[in-house]
Amino acid sequence: MKNNWKKAAALLELGALLLGLTGCAQKKEPIELTVWTYYNGEQLGAFNEAVEAFNATEGKNNNITVSASSLGSVNDLEQNVMDALQGKVGAQKVPDIFSAYADTAYAVDNMGRAADLSPYLTDKDKKEYIQSYLTEGDFKDDGSIKVFPVAKATELLVVNDTDWQKFAEATGTSADEFATIEGLTAMAQRYYEWTDSLTEEPNDGRALFGRDAMANYMIIGAKQLGYDIFETADGKTIVNLPRDVAKKLWDNYYVPYVKGFFASSGRFRSDDMKTGNVLAFVGSSAGCTFFPDHVTNGDGDSYDIEVKTYQAPKFEGGADYAVQQGAGMVIINKSDAQVEAAARFLKWFTQSDWAIEFSVSSGYLPVTVADNDMVKIENSSPSMKKGVRKSLNTAVQTVKANTLYTTRAFETGTQARKKLEYAMSDAAQADRAAVEKALQGGTTLEEATAEFVNEERFDAWYTQLMNELSEIVGQ
């Protein structure tokens, strides 16, 4: 690809020379654009190469020069952007474009600084993108685009198939059960009981499953069951999580966790799979470059495993929704010429061959409808690792088979999401620790969990969660 764009650059130089000789060239005023990102590793390298290619081709043809800088982590980037916009002492000059998640973009928009890109895209242009990616940046339901999508992700179910097959053959378990959350919960109980039966030690069954991003579980689970946990309209947000919906979420995470059927110990569940603590987990498709290919157990024994990926399970009878993840790009509202040039760069970037290379370099998905095609992805990245290829294939299937969903941005959205991230998982971890202590004292699993697996425990948790969420959103 590098050779292709260098050849194109040479042709452009020749064309410009010929135009100059005939006196027909009318150069536009030069425009310099600065882009701030949080990218690192292969993703940063792919983005920088794309910027170089733009500058040598499309940019040169339109007198636009782009310079890009990585400012560290997402939090570092956000702080630098806010410092610049607020004119703090020592802050850098405000960039023209920066990477951002929707909540940060929403805050910048409330400052009147986020440009609307809708006027710079034709209706035909807009149809080329997956629609939910564009509407994520429509904060006021007026058709505006305040966040331009560049790379996205969803969630996958990742399974250590090598060890799972042993369990499946011994118990007659089918992979079809992975399709639903209830099926996965039942399978996890069966796995715990099977592993418990392999030793004389009572209550030493093993966990089958773990989950990253608990907020996603609650938000997408509720959506599949017909509810937006956070309903935002006309600048106001309310909490909408009926008790029966919350109870279903509880019964399929907290309850199996407290009983030892689910687990979490490492920073990410892929870490738990590497140590053999779980056989399966739901995590971001963007993490596919980190999915394990071997297990090293507590005894220090290490062995290779075959990993399979499935679409993330859904609630039985639920609607076909899957999570939408990934930051986009925000253009700062400057002169019309600056905004138009920035929009030109982002449109070129997401619709060029570089879009696929940039996305798959770190396990993300491209954002146009046409590019979400595995044949096209494989042709663009022939050296892609086998595990990444399988994961991206499942992710593409997810995009095509589901409506992608994320909550609408609102002022306290980050805080509200954080509450969902830890409310159930913290309760489950604390109560599981108490259960383990009781088991060590000689009680049965049923006796040890009776204090926690009941309506009173759920109602106390649910009431507290609803009160805290209502306070966060100002309801």
Short-list 268, 276, 279, 284, CA closest to 391: 284
Per-residue confidence at 9, pLDDT binned at 50, 70, 90?
A: very low
Looking at residue 395, which CATH number applies to its domain? 3.40.190.10
Domain boundary among 402, 422, 455: 402
Is residue 212 in a domain? yes
Domain boundary among 375, 402, 429: 402
Per-residue confidence at 28, pLDDT binned at 50, 70, 90?
A: confident
Per-residue confidence at 233, pLDDT binned at 50, 70, 90?
A: confident
Beta-carbon contacts of 356 under 8 Å, excluding residues fewer than 6 positions away, are 366, 371, 376, 377, 380, 381
Per-residue confidence at 2, pLDDT binned at 50, 70, 90?
A: very low
Q: What is the mean pLDDT of residues 23-32?
A: 70
On the question of pLDDT at 8 being above 80, the answer is no
Domain boundary among 368, 402, 436: 402
On the question of pLDDT at 426 being above 50, the answer is yes
**Of residues 113 and 388, which shows the higher confidence score?**
113
β-bridge partners, 295: 303
Task: Indicate yes or no: pTM above 0.85.
Answer: yes
On the question of pLDDT at 18 being above 70, the answer is no
The pLDDT value recorded for residue 77 is 96
Q: Is the dihedral of CA 423, 319, 256, 325 positive or negative?
A: negative
d(CA 235, CA 219): 20
Number of domains in the chain: 2
The pLDDT value recorded for residue 53 is 96
On the question of pLDDT at 216 being above 80, the answer is yes
For residues 416 and 384, membership in a common domain is answered with no
Task: Supply the mean pLDDT for the chain.
Answer: 93
d(CA 323, CA 407): 10
Is residue 105 in a domain? yes
**pLDDT of 148-159, one tens digit each?**
999 999 999 999
The pLDDT value recorded for residue 149 is 98
Per-residue confidence at 381, pLDDT binned at 50, 70, 90?
A: confident
For residues 305 and 170, membership in a common domain is answered with yes
For residues 297 and 162, membership in a common domain is answered with yes
Range(s) of the domain holding residue 66: 25-152+326-402
Is residue 333 in a domain? yes
Q: What is the mean pLDDT of residues 365-386?
A: 91
**pLDDT of 42-52, one tens digit each?**
889 989 999 99
Is residue 5 in a domain? no
Per-residue confidence at 353, pLDDT binned at 50, 70, 90?
A: confident
For residues 226 and 284, membership in a common domain is answered with yes
The pLDDT value recorded for residue 1 is 53
CB atoms within 10 A of CB 344: 18
Is residue 261 in a domain? yes
Is residue 15 in a domain? no
For residues 143 and 290, membership in a common domain is answered with no
For residues 395 and 458, membership in a common domain is answered with no
Report the percentage of the chain scoring pLDDT > 70.
94
Compute the half-sphere exposure of residue 78: CA atoms within 13 Å on the CB side of its CA.
15
Q: Longest Cα pair distance anywhere in the chain, in angstroms?
A: 93
| C-alpha dist (Å) from residue 241 to 43, 212, 245, 246, 382 | 37, 21, 7, 6, 45
For residues 178 and 289, membership in a common domain is answered with yes
Per-residue confidence at 20, pLDDT binned at 50, 70, 90?
A: very low
d(CA 426, CA 305): 31
Q: What is the mean pLDDT of residues 214-238?
A: 96
d(CA 46, CA 50): 6
The pLDDT value recorded for residue 24 is 43
**pLDDT of 256-278, one tens digit each?**
999 999 999 989 999 999 999 99
Per-residue confidence at 16, pLDDT binned at 50, 70, 90?
A: very low
**pLDDT of 105-140, one tens digit each?**
999 999 999 999 999 999 999 999 999 999 999 999
For residues 227 and 288, membership in a common domain is answered with yes
Q: Determine contact, residues 97/36, Cβ cutoff 8 Å.
A: yes
Place of tokens 């939408």: 324
Edge-to-edge strands, sheet with 97-100? 64-70, 31-37, 97-100, 328-331, 148-149
**pLDDT of 303-330, one tens digit each?**
999 999 999 999 999 999 999 999 999 9
Per-residue confidence at 25, pLDDT binned at 50, 70, 90?
A: very low
Q: What is the mean pLDDT of residues 73-86?
A: 96
CA angle 348, 351, 357 (to 5 degrees): 105
For residues 32 and 112, membership in a common domain is answered with yes
For residues 306 and 428, membership in a common domain is answered with yes
Q: Is the dihedral of CA 431, 432, 433, 439 positive or negative?
A: positive
Is residue 12 in a domain? no
| Tokens found for residue 73 | 């982590």
Is residue 131 in a domain? yes
Q: What is the mean pLDDT of residues 346-363?
A: 89
On the question of pLDDT at 23 being above 80, the answer is no
**pLDDT of 164-206, one tens digit each?**
999 999 999 999 999 999 999 999 999 999 999 999 999 999 9
**What is the DSSP secondary-structure string of 394-425?**
HHHHHHHHSEEE-PPP-TTHHHHHHHHHHHHH
For residues 37 and 119, membership in a common domain is answered with yes
Q: What is the mean pLDDT of residues 427-448?
A: 97
The pLDDT value recorded for residue 244 is 99
Which of 212-226, 324-338, 358-372, 396-410 is predicted with the least confidence, judged by mean pLDDT? 358-372
Would you give the DSSP letter of residue 460? H
For residues 114 and 51, membership in a common domain is answered with yes
